[in-house]
Amino acid sequence: LSRKVEMTNWEKGNFINYKKMSENLAIVRARLNRPLTYAEKILYSHLDDPHGQEIERGKSYLKLRPDRVACQDATAQMAILQFMSAGLPKVATPTTVHCDHLIEAQVGGAKDLARAEEINKEVYDFLSTACAKYDIGFWKPGSGIIHQIILENYAFPGGLLIGTDSHTPNAGGLGMCAIGVGGADAVDVMANLPWELKAPKIIGVKLTGQLSGWTSPKDIILKVAGILTVKGGTGAIVEYHGPGVDNLSSTGMGTICNMGAEIGATTSVFPFNDRMYDYLAATKRKDIGDFARTYAKELREDQGAEYDELIELDLSTLEPHINGPFTPDLATPISKFKDAVEENGWPAELKVGLIGSCTNSSYEDMSRSASIARDALNHGIKAKSVYTVTPGSEQIRATIERDGQLQTFEEFGGIVLANACGPCIGQWDRRDVKKGEPNSIISSYNRNFTGRNDANPATHAFVTSPDLVTAMTIAGDLRFNPLTDKLKDKDGNEFMLAPPTGAGLPERGYDPGRDTYQAPPADRASVQVQVSPSSDRLQVLSPFKPWDGKDAKGIPILIKCKGKTTTDHISMAGPWLKYRGHLDNISNNMLIGATNAENDQANSVKNFITGEYDAVPATARDYKARNIPWVVIGDWNYGEGSSREHAALEPRHLGGLAIITRSFARIHETNLKKQGMLPLVFENPADYDKINPDDKVDLFITDLAVGKPMRIRFHPKNGSPWETNLIHTFNEGQIEWFKNGSALNTMAKAQRS
Ligand code: F3S
């Protein structure tokens, strides 16, 4: 176990540390004295303090030391800007950045890529120079989708990865525990802070039997999503096991783990097996496969490991599934789908079929779809619907170009898009239907929420395997079932499509294609990070000011929010995503979606100085300009939704001091602390009702101490002042964050001393 094996072929000196992992595990084992699941083994072997860490599934907060960090280009911008503001010379944990989210699908691969390079030039220039400066591997636009690149180059069995994208769990296809996080978490790990995760519960999925015919790995997760629903995996890791596992390809397992994000799971993982070994060998990492074999005992569950919940699936009887529309957990087996389409009045005509994305763009996926397309071509027919293909990586694209699948798709009428997210993230200049026109599309992607792909709320988006997407585009009709229904060939003779076939791995090995990787240079000191001062998309961050050590007296309530205030209400997405790297510009969306309790309106609050109603951000800016800090009053579960760090950065940037609520969503609460804000909760939730939006507030910040309440006094306009208690969850370290102005300031201070 003390051999030296590099984590990846792209870096030198970052070794896989199975020795340390097994030592940590031995310590935890001696303490827990029970069989462990595989997911637990990965997590516990990465504990910051295996001796002292409290471990209870579903309860404790684990402090972990991930092996790697991965960021996509949309989320990397703010993460790196924040990292820069700490003033550290390089990342402490191996990190990569992947340019995949900003390429709009319009006409096809090469042209769309060239257009994106022009439109996003300043973002790409910033990312590439910042990566060079801070020792981060940079995957250029056109290299492929983050999760595919990670699987091909960086994932390894037993490893722990965090990624600033929800579908990071894809790397579970190589036995890695890979978890999607917000930018703030990534920054912590880049800056050498341990990363905190609530010890997940473990849901076991036992697979028996074997897939055949039209059923593919995607159908496993489509079925599981139907069983667990979009909430069923929350706070849990889904751990697959059982004899059925060994017949799945590594990339197929990746598909299953990838879409586990749709059931809210922390991540999903498969045990190390020979299929993973084969994939490692095929992607030039046989040494990692051999090394993993020496540690194999710890790369699977212990005998007798107990799951918090257990699901059993027999793959031999599993039918192909189609999930949707509008939600990924509405699962319908193909045999019932025609009836479902008719009963629900879903538009039966299939307008567009889309294959690829990070979920389903392996060599196997492409080969199987190409076999179906070829079958149709052999009968003289092509796709009736529009058909698009997004290869997951340049390597996949080059390999299917060499091996002929790509030509088959084109002959079939397909449009091969850039190696990027494209329509999956709404980067799709769709022109075949008008906005508001009801229509159906089907994809091999993972998410199908309203408007996600084409911003048309009337589009019924379904997700399924690439096999069914391809078959359905031939019929051009959602009611088509390739297992039972006939098609007509060019002469009008009936025929049935043969079930798809395709190799899991390319016989002749992968063709790497164009070189799209930029390694950090040896001389990083002379690299200048490029941020144009006139840019409206990027802005260098200055560190936030430390606390002045005083209580706050007579400060205003910017807004008293009523009801649901999610991170979308606090920092809206959509068109604002463009400004993710520009804190001042994106702050113009702060809380514009929240409902003002005073007038039941969104984005209209009274400025206590001018007496005028104005937008929330404009009012906050006015207070900031006058040096008046402010607070927000929030309802239950404030900040639920995503881990978006902008929702915490914006109020801090616009001069907010405290967010006072009936309760918080935990991730947002932590994000606020990281940015040097005070997330506080009414000791008595009924106090919320007693507050008038135009009350003035005294906040006794000097009370701040672990486990102690903080006093607050309200001064109503008409009435006598009253005082109450706020509680909080600050620990010692987090109090330092507040005092220093932010977690990053605290890191930078530690580094300097
Ligand atoms: Fe990209 Fe869609 Fe995956 S946005 S990372 S292809 S889920």
Tell me if 448 CB under 6 Å of ligand 1.
Answer: no
- Mean pLDDT across 147-165: 97
User: Is the pLDDT assigned to residue 753 strictly greater than 80?
Assistant: no
Q: What is the CATH number of domain 18-316?
A: 3.30.499.10
- Mean pLDDT across 648-657: 98
Closest CA to 69 of 137, 6, 145: 137
Q: What percent of the chain has pLDDT over 90?
A: 92
User: Is the pLDDT assigned to residue 378 strictly greater than 80?
Assistant: yes
Q: What is the pTM of this model?
A: 0.91
The letter for the amino acid at 124 is: Y
When pLDDT is cut at 50, 70 and 90, the band that residue 547 belongs to is very high
Give the pLDDT of residue 230: 86
pLDDT in tens, 3-23: 999 999 999 999 999 999 999
CA distances (Å), 567 to each of 191, 275, 649, 748, in order? 25, 40, 12, 28
User: Is the pLDDT assigned to residue 231 strictly greater than 90?
Assistant: no
- Mean pLDDT across 231-235: 88
User: Is the pLDDT assigned to residue 321 strictly greater than 80?
Assistant: yes
Give the whole-angstrom CA distance, residue 407 versus residue 399: 12
The letter for the amino acid at 708 is: K
- Mean pLDDT across 631-644: 90
Output the CA 421–ligand 1 centroid distance in Å.
5
Give the pLDDT of residue 747: 86
- Mean pLDDT across 283-288: 98
Output the CA 32–ligand 1 centroid distance in Å.
38
Question: Tokens 């205003």, residue?
Answer: 556
Q: Which two tokens stand for residue 298?
A: 């710890």
By the 8 A CB rule, do 500 and 368 touch? yes
Same fold, 18-316 and 322-495: yes
Question: Tokens 């092996």, residue?
Answer: 67
DSSP state of 381: -
Give the whole-angstrom CA distance, residue 348 versus residue 11: 50
pLDDT in tens, 668-720: 999 999 999 999 999 999 999 999 999 999 999 999 999 999 999 999 999 99
The letter for the amino acid at 296 is: A
When pLDDT is cut at 50, 70 and 90, the band that residue 214 belongs to is very high
- Other beta carbons within 10 Å of 55: 16
The letter for the amino acid at 318 is: L
Closest CA to 210 of 356, 350, 314: 314
- Mean pLDDT across 448-455: 88
Domain regions of the chain by residue span:
18-316, 322-495, 552-752
Tell me if 133 CB under 6 Å of ligand 1.
Answer: no
User: Is the pLDDT assigned to residue 319 strictly greater than 80?
Assistant: yes
- Mean pLDDT across 582-603: 97
> If you write DSSP's letter for every residue of 113-164 in order, what string do you get?
HHHHHHHTHHHHHHHHHHHHHHT-EEE-TTSB-HHHHHHHHT--TT-EEEES
Tell me if 425 CB under 6 Å of ligand 1.
Answer: yes
- Mean pLDDT across 158-172: 96
Tell me if 259 CB under 6 Å of ligand 1.
Answer: no
- Mean pLDDT across 386-399: 97
Residue 32: which residues within 8 A CB-CB, separation 6 or more? 55
- Mean pLDDT across 196-203: 94
Half-sphere exposure of 240 (CA within 13 A, CB side): 38
DSSP state of 351: E
Give the pLDDT of residue 1: 80
Burial 92-106 (b: 16+ CB within 10 A, else e): bbbbbbbbbbbbbbb
Q: What is the mean pLDDT of the chain?
A: 96
User: Is the pLDDT assigned to residue 733 strictly greater than 80?
Assistant: yes
CA distances (Å), 518 to each of 97, 116, 128, 164, 420, in order? 10, 18, 8, 20, 17
Tell me if 148 CB under 6 Å of ligand 1.
Answer: no
Output the CA 388–ligand 1 centroid distance in Å.
15
- Mean pLDDT across 304-324: 97
Mutate to test the pocket of ligand 1, among 165, 258, 355, 362 (most ligand atoms within 8 A of CB): 165
DSSP state of 108: -
When pLDDT is cut at 50, 70 and 90, the band that residue 644 belongs to is confident
Mutate to test the pocket of ligand 1, among 73, 102, 139, 145 (most ligand atoms within 8 A of CB): 145
Q: What is the CATH number of domain 322-495?
A: 3.30.499.10
Residue nearest to atom 5 of ligand 1 (CA): 358
User: Out of 3.40.50.620, 3.40.190.150, 3.40.640.10, 3.20.19.10, which CATH number does the structure's domain 552-752 have?
Assistant: 3.20.19.10
3-state SS, residue 21: helix
Mutate to test the pocket of ligand 1, among 71, 96, 166, 167 (most ligand atoms within 8 A of CB): 167
User: Is the pLDDT assigned to residue 424 strictly greater than 90?
Assistant: yes
User: Is the pLDDT assigned to residue 574 strictly greater than 80?
Assistant: no
Tell me if 145 CB under 6 Å of ligand 1.
Answer: yes
Residue nearest to atom 1 of ligand 1 (CA): 421
Residue 750: which residues within 8 A CB-CB, separation 6 or more? none
Give the pLDDT of residue 598: 96
Residue nearest to atom 3 of ligand 1 (CA): 358
Please give the biggest Cα pair distance in the chain.
88
- Mean pLDDT across 734-753: 91
Q: Which residues are catalytic?
A: 100-101, 165, 447, 642, 644
- Other beta carbons within 10 Å of 522: 6
Tell me if 358 CB under 6 Å of ligand 1.
Answer: yes
Which ligand 1 atom minimizes the distance to the CA of 359? 3
Which ligand 1 atom minimizes the distance to the CA of 447? 7
Give the pLDDT of residue 666: 82
